[in-house]
Amino acid sequence: MRTTLTIDPDNAERLRTLAHRSRLPFKRVLNDVLRLGLRGETTGEAEPPFVVKATPMRLKAGVDPMRLSQFEADFDGAAFEEKTGRQPDASR
């Protein structure tokens, strides 16, 4: 079916680039992209992977990083006791 489309310039450039890279005709690339979009798929152009930028913890001397969850539990328990005047329920 022949029809006339008005394609935004940025999309037209991306389609031309994709056609050039894949060495396929513009018409085929456009139809393939439409098919993928209508099916809810992507063209395979993945976003760059998320990278975690690690920083040193700079813990004070004597703090064991393997026991930080215990430190948090102790701290929360002490805060609870101070606020309510009673011991936290150990069964939870």
Tell me, what's the pLDDT at 45? 66
Please report the pLDDT score of residue 90 as a whole number.
58
> Could you report the per-residue pLDDT of 13-52, keeping only the tens digit for each?
999 999 999 999 999 999 999 998 888 766 566 778 889 9
**pTM (2 decimals)?**
0.43
Extract the tokens encoding 52. Answer: 């975690």
Can you spell out the DSSP letters for 6-47? ---HHHHHHHHHHHHHHT--HHHHHHHHHHHHHHT---S-PP
